[in-house]
Structures are given as C-alpha cells and as structure tokens.
C-alpha cells in the first residue's frame, strides 16, 4: 500500500467517525423508529379491516366527497402517483370505487366511491380512528401540538 493510499484511508476513517457524531443522527434514528412503530400498529389494524394501508388511505380520502380526479387524489393521499392507478384498479375490482367521466370534461375521469365503498368507509374510518386514539390518547393536547409543530418544522427543512 502506498503512502498516499494509507493517508487517504486514514482521512476516510476520520470522516466516517466525524459523520457518526453528527448531532442530528439520534433524531433521524428516533424518527425512523417512531415511523416503524406507528406503521406496524397502523397497518396491522387496517389489514384486519380487509384493506391495505394505501387502499384505506384512498377510501378515507374519497369518503364524504363527490369524488376526485386522479390528480386530486394523488395530492391528498400518501400514495405516489406511480402506484395510484394500481390501487384504484384493485379497489375497482373489489367493487369499492368506480371511474366516472364527467360530462363537462371528457378528458379526465373522477374516482368515486360505490355504495359498497361508502359502506366500507362508514365502517372502517371510525373503527380505525378509535384504534389510533387508543395510543394517541396517551399524549396531552399540548404534547400532540408540540409534536405536530416539530414535525412540520422538520418537513420544512427539506
């Protein structure tokens, strides 16, 4: 190994040690752990309701609305545009949504809950909110607001 290689390796190891000491690293780890814990708790219950998390997100977003375009739905859900079509296809096969072409704009279509989709929304949304409330009720309103503001601030950094 040449002297330049040895020096380069030592500098790389120093940079690695310094990177591991960044003060934001524990925040990143805790954020990831909190998200993993929430997702596990959230998704297990949604599966018990007969849906996937993205399907529940779409049904919950469409609930109590006259329907939305795919673009509107993509903006309001946590589902990426790339996977939204597949989710809508599966919900359509389950008889929970339908595509409608509005007469005033035949270039797009609306995603609308069917009567079965409305029934599913009426059953699953309150049940899941009650499930989440079991955990979130362990926090005070002030704690919830503090967490919300901190997460908002973190999101705005990016």
The 10s digit of each residue's pLDDT in 73-131 is 999 998 887 899 999 999 999 999 999 998 887 788 899 999 999 999 999 999 999 99
Residue 68: beta bridge partners?
Answer: 111
Question: Does 10 have pLDDT greater than 70?
Answer: no
13: left (phi over 0), alpha (psi -120 to 50) or beta: alpha
| Confidence (pLDDT) at 47 | 98
Q: Which tokens is 93 given?
A: 């096969």
Map residue 8 onto helix, strand or coil: helix
The answer to which of 2-16, 47-61, 138-152 has the lowest mean pLDDT is: 2-16
Question: Does 3 have pLDDT greater than 90?
Answer: no
CA distance 47 to 158: 32
CA distance 39 to 109: 31
Q: Which tokens is 86 given?
A: 């597949």
Question: Does 9 have pLDDT greater than 90?
Answer: no
| Confidence (pLDDT) at 8 | 65
- CATH numbers and ranges of domains, the chain: 1-48 (no CATH), 52-158 (1.10.10.10)
- Answer positive or negative: Cα dihedral of 133, 49, 122, 55: positive
Question: Does 7 have pLDDT greater than 80?
Answer: no
């Amino acid at each position: 190994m040449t002297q330049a290689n040895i020096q380069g390796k030592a500098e790389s190891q120093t940079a690695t040690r310094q990177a591991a000491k960044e003060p934001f690293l524990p925040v990143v780890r805790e954020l990831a752990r909190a998200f993993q814990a929430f997702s596990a708790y959230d998704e297990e219950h949604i599966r018990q309701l007969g849906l996937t998390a993205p399907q529940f997100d779409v049904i919950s977003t469409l609930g109590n609305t006259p329907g939305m375009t795919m673009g509107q739905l993509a903006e309001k859900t946590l589902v990426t545009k790339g996977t939204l079509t597949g989710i809508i296809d599966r919900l359509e096969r389950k008889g929970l949504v339908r595509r409608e072409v509005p007469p005033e704009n035949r270039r797009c279509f609306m995603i609308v809950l069917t009567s079965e989709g409305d029934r599913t929304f009426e059953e699953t949304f309150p049940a899941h909110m009650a499930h989440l409330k079991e955990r979130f009720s362990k926090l005070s309103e002030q704690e919830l607001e503090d967490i919300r503001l901190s997460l908002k601030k973190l999101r705005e950094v990016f």
